[in-house]
A and B are shown apart, each in its own frame.
Chain A
Amino acid sequence: MDFLFALLGATLRISTPILLAALGETLIERAGILNLGIEGTMVLSAFCGFVVAHLSGSLWLGLVAAILTGILLCSLMGLLSVTLNLNQHVAGLGITLLASGLALFSFRLVYGGSSTPPSLDHSFPQLAIFKGTVLEPLFSQYGITYVALLLVPLLGWLLQNTAFGLRLRSVGENPEAADIAGLNVYWVRYQALIVGGALMGLAGAFLSLAQLGAFTHGVVNGRGWVAIAIVIFGNWQPSKVLYGALLFGFLQALQLRLQAQGIPLPYEALLALPYIITIVILALAGRNASYPAALLKPYRREGA
């Protein structure tokens, strides 16, 4: 029992940054933008959060810095793909290259090439609920994890039951209809990018300010790309995105434990396991995916 709850607890922890990033990407894609800048946005957010927290001594300032970084980079995505109508693939990959490079370069500038990488004296603590019960190992999580879990129903409700959600979905399904209905398509898309960017920033902050308490070269390690796959797996619905993130987190937690148990398999195979299963599931689920109809399509009013 203890083993199971510890495994599930690790699942929640590992799922958190992927869930947050995937929720952010979900909002942005529902507005019609594929944001491939997600990976770089997470890296630079993790870095900025770390630097601010490290230099100021305040984790909360670091958290704010990470979120602002996410918003800023997604606004840049908006400038390139919404305002300037550039190809979304190129703009997104460009942002990932730029942001990842900028993070590593700035890290070198601030900390030099020191052999012992700096770390925070304190990172965000884990908050245990159900203390002393059998559930404690499952619910000893960082605050951000609880926030991420609460965001799932909140965003689902936001998309389906608010004017903001309706407008956001309309520009992702048929921007021309939204325009003719009198909406400012660009502004609605920027709003989606800003909210989504904040979530991606939070995902980065979770890695550097909570889970690791440090910033390293591979801090994000492809989680952004996994998040994009999970958005498709989750059919652009927050609740299903949660299942996808949990599944990936569970496989990751499982393979870590299998490695520790000394299973007679090469550890590289175990490391690859979550990714392989993600690809297989995606190949199966992706065939029935109902993409937002205007995904990848820049909007420009005809004749303008």
Chain B
Amino acid sequence: MPLPYISLKNLCKRFGSLTANENVSLELYSGEVLALLGENGAGKTTLTKMLYGIYQPDDGEIFLAGSPVRFRSPADAIRGGVGFVSQHFSLVPSFTVAENIVLGREGAAILYKEALNNKVKQAAERFGLKLEPSALVRDLSVGEQQRVEILKALYRNCQLLILDEPTAVLTPQDVEKLFATLRHLQNQGLSVIIITHKLDEAMAISQRVAVLRLGKLVGVEATKKTSARELARLMVGRDTVPVTKNLEHDAEKTVALSAKNLTVKDKRGLTTLKEVSLELHKGEVLGIAGVAGNGQTELVDVLTGMREPESGSLSLNGKTLTLGNARAFEMAGVGRIPEDRLKGVVGDLSVAENLTLEHIPQFTQRGHLKTGAMTQEAERLISAFQIKAKATDKARTLSGGNIQKIILARTLSRNPSVVIAAQPTRGLDIGATTFVHEQLLAQKDRGAGVLLLSEDLDEILRLSDRILVMYGGSIVGNFLAHEANVETLGLVMAGSKHVSA
């Protein structure tokens, strides 16, 4: 057996009372792709950040080719041959591709743009990455930005490349391209750690899979000898059952929310939402798929009254809505599950205060808060929505899943006519995700129209009755859910026009 390129011995990392990693020991060999699998909060990112010198382990050791090393900063890790592509890209948007890549490794005091561009171009070609060195990073697509990040690591001669959730922001086609690149690099002798929580991706790209649960390594399996089912059980600690939707409500065709020709321009005058029209029926889940930044955020803002569009109109159950008046929208029966759930609660207010925040007039008497009634309402919602917290806890001390439950409870307990749910399960673990799915489907069964915006195609396909695809601020695809699949949706999401179901 050859010496592992890098090995971890009993690594521990604690944040206050929270143990993020406990006694993790792992080896990685040259030319091997290892998938690091685990639910959100399992400690995958923490582990890799210790490998890149961003965090210091509280206990345990790292060995590089057999000798112990200590990475006190990313600079140390780079010298040790480690490269890291974080989940949220660390690029300078106003710099060119070449500038981002050579930053910190310029090679000379004076920079000659031509020479730099050539050097970067050569490096890109050697590693089989398609990139234009003189392009500004802010003009690149997410997939291209990721290639810049990968080349940045390779340019520093990394022998081990760590990718943190690299597929989360990509279309299925871009995922394929990424995997092809990784296989190419692997053949050149590179070791790769790829973090993911998607089982099929782990199965597709890796030779071995390491599974983390609650900070501990619960299994390392050869990919060929395991199955997605087995890995799921390791990851969650029990068998999982995904939600199933009720197909009976598909027939109802009463329009709940109707949007006509909505157009939004951003501060720079660019059109971010172009003449978008849609109809959301009662008793259906309408999924909106798309790569982030194709107008979904603007659409949600308009549909929930958070933003006044340049033009267009909206009506709910036949009545016209006053655009840009969030309060009026809420009163009329538009329920909002915001994209950034941390903006949906006030962190320093208690759970009870957050649960009643949108309906404060009901809990007020002559300007005084009726705290008794607030607590009573909170207790009711806490038990109905299985929120794991006390009414007096501050919202910011809660986990993402419980914060999302507060928002669901506050919005759904009012029986809104339509629910606008933007990325409702982003960053949630499997248990909380299932809960959110059940709640959304319950709203549909109750007769509400549910608009589901998500970057997770599996989620869209599993919950929706109809699916619209957004690209470049327009709706470019319209599918019945049972006629759509990941491949066709992916093509339309990437802007390919000649696809129809």
Contacts and interface: CB of A to CB of B under 8 A. Distances in A.
A182 B90 contact: no
Given A180-B86, A183-B75, A166 B99 contact: yes
A181 B109 contact: no
A162 to B, nearest CB: 6
Interface in A96-135: none
A178 interface: yes
Contacts of A170: 92, 95, 103
B269 to A, nearest CB: 12
A173 B113 CA distance: 20
A146 interface: no
B111 interface: yes
Given A170-B95, A174-B93, A177-B92, A182 B105 contact: yes
Contacts of A275: none
Contacts of A183: 75, 103-104
A174 B111 CA distance: 20
Contacts of A178: 92, 103-104
B15 A181 contact: no
A302 B54 contact: yes
B90 A174 contact: yes
A167 B103 CA distance: 7
Interface string A152-184: 000000000111101101100110111111111
B84 interface: yes
Interface string B48-78: 0100101110000000000000000111001
A304 B54 CA distance: 8
Contacts of B402: none
A161 B108 CA distance: 11
A180 B85 CA distance: 9
Interface in B89-122: 90-95, 99-100, 102-106, 108-113
A173 B110 contact: no
A177 B74 contact: no
B426 interface: no
Contacts of A162: 109-111
Interface residues of A, number: 24
A177 B103 CA distance: 9
B103 A166 contact: yes
A169 B54 CA distance: 22
Contact of B15 (A177, A180, A301, A303): A303
A293 interface: yes
Given A166-B106, A167-B104, A174 B92 contact: yes
Interface string B341-379: 000000000000000000000000000000000000000
Given A170-B92, A173-B95, A181 B74 contact: yes
B249 interface: no
B156 interface: yes
Contacts of A163: 106, 108-111
Interface in A61-90: none
A223 B92 CA distance: 33
B336 interface: no
A186 B52 CA distance: 19
Contact of A303 (B55, B74, B103, B108): B55
B215 to A, nearest CB: 15
A162 B111 CA distance: 5
A174 B95 CA distance: 10
B54 A293 contact: no
B94 A293 contact: yes
A30 to B, nearest CB: 11
B94 A161 contact: no
B64 to A, nearest CB: 17
A181 B103 CA distance: 7
Contacts of B15: 303
Interface in B155-174: 156
Given A173-B95, A182-B105, 11 more contacts: A163-B108, A166-B95, A166-B103, A170-B92, A182-B74, A182-B75, A183-B103, A293-B93, A303-B15, A303-B49, A303-B54
6 contacts: A163-B110, A173-B95, A178-B104, A180-B52, A181-B105, A182-B73
Closest 8 CB pairs of A and B: A163-B106, A177-B90, A182-B75, A181-B104, A180-B90, A173-B92, A182-B78, A183-B104
